[in-house]
Amino acid sequence: MIQEWNIDPTWSLFLDRDGVINERIWNGYVLNYEQFVFKAHSLEALKFLTRYFSHTIIVTNQQCVSKNLITIKELEEIHNQMLHEINANGGEITRIYAATEEKNKTPFRRKPNIKMGLEAQNQFSNIDFSKSIMVGDTDSDIEFGKNLGMKTILLKSEEKNTIQADFEIRNLTELNDLIN
């Protein structure tokens, strides 16, 4: 099915962070880099996946900032160290967009709201949502992608999902194998 999408270098890849790139902390948050644990084989998969796409964008809900559990500076430090590790392993992330407000609070950037996607498209005008894939592990990730007209891929986890994605995978390596 994914082969029918005819993915080429003009496509963009949007990724959730927690549960897709790193291990998700259930009923909690990654509050420092010591708690940030890459999912098995995700660094190797990112090395290859990022070569297939014109942009690889991370869109992540991080309400831990507005809950005053960490500062925006501390979140940026986690992201900087994550990017350093991804780059050191041959991957490349174009940009990270983080919605730091609490659920159901303004400015309503949190997924499934489409604002982070529109911000990415505004910054990178060659992003075409009809030639983009959203990979996430929650309904809000899949709804975000669908709301923007993207192809959607659910990375299966302990999360209970009710929104049907276009495709399901168990990890990013599986996505790499399907595209390759």
- Choosing from 8, 16, 128, 177, which is the catalytic residue? 16
Q: Active site includes 141?
A: no
- d(CA 143, CA 130) in angstroms, rounded, equals 15
Find, among 2, 18, 29, the residue nearest to 59 by Cα: 18
Q: In the beta sheet, which residues pair with residue 14?
A: 57, 134
Decide: 13 and 57 in contact? Cβ < 8 Å.
Answer: yes
Strands (E) in 71-129, as ranges, are 95-99
Cβ atoms of 175 and 49 within 8 Å: the answer is: yes
Q: Which member of 18, 137, 139, 141 is catalytic? A: 18
Q: Where are the beta strands (DSSP E) in the chain?
A: 12-15, 55-61, 95-99, 132-136, 151-155, 167-169
Closest CA to 135 of 179, 105, 104: 179
Please count the residues of the chain.
180
Q: Is 16 marked active-site?
A: yes
Catalytic (active-site) positions: 16, 18
